[in-house]
Amino acid sequence: MSTHTIDPTKWVDKYSDYLFNYTIVRVNDREIANDLISETFLAGLKSMENFKGEASERTWLISILKRKIIDHYRKMNSKKGQAEVHINYRDGENDGDWLEEQVADQFDKTAEDDMENTELGMAILDCLEKINAKHAEIFKMKTIDGVDTEVICKEFDITPSNLWVIIHRARTALAACLEQNWF
């Protein structure tokens, strides 16, 4: 039985930040991430008829995006033959440096941290989707984008007191939502 509905007019407001964070950690380039998200939305529109409603809209969009990201790397790999290899080790005293760099393998730890941070980021966005949309938007502007209180108040036509009440509610809801896995 289908339980989820589809409404493309709300995709950008509801899912763009989630899709963006999902993509940027995988491609590490803002422009490419934007292109992949555009392609995902357009592919989603074209295959809307195939949406059975068994998964949520967001899960369905992520599955399309995953394929887009894989395609992106496939295309990149097909160009690999044209790549140049740069070696910057010099002769003389520094000859042995490369060996030490190989031994001190920093990658695993960094990769592990990055994965955990990504997972945390997605959990935060997931929790924000569950709260009042306007509160979530104000919270993101203030906390993630660092927009000035005055600017947000003007844009939403609210007083600073209103803003702090909204921020308080969003923070309380977010902490409660994250509590089980992250606190």
Partner 1 sequence: MQEEKKYIDCDKAECCCDKGQYKEADKIEKIQLLEHLAECPRCREYSEKNTRLTELIEKAKLKCCSEEEKECWRKAIEEELKKSHSE
Q: Which residues bind partner 1 (CB under 8 A)?
A: 8-9, 11-13, 16-17, 20-21, 24, 34, 37-38, 41-42, 45, 117-118, 120-121, 124-125, 140-145, 149, 164-165, 167-168, 171, 174-175, 178, 182-183
Q: Which is closer to partner 1, CB of 3 or CB of 159?
A: 159
Q: Which is closer to partner 1, CB of 31 or CB of 100?
A: 31
Q: Which is closer to partner 1, CB of 31 or CB of 91?
A: 31
How many whole angstroms separate alpha carbon 99 and alpha carbon 90?
A: 13
| Shortest distance (Å) from residue 143 CB to partner 1 | 6
- Number of neighbouring beta carbons within 10 Å of residue 30: 11
**Strand, coil or helix: what is 157?**
coil
| Shortest distance (Å) from residue 163 CB to partner 1 | 10
Q: Which is closer to partner 1, CB of 97 or CB of 151?
A: 151
How many whole angstroms separate alpha carbon 90 and alpha carbon 98?
A: 10
How many whole angstroms separate alpha carbon 40 and alpha carbon 26?
A: 15
**The amino acid at 50:** N
Unique residue bearing structure tokens 């949520």? 56
| Shortest distance (Å) from residue 55 CB to partner 1 | 20
Q: Tokens at residue 19, please?
A: 């899709």
**The amino acid at 98:** W
| Shortest distance (Å) from residue 71 CB to partner 1 | 19
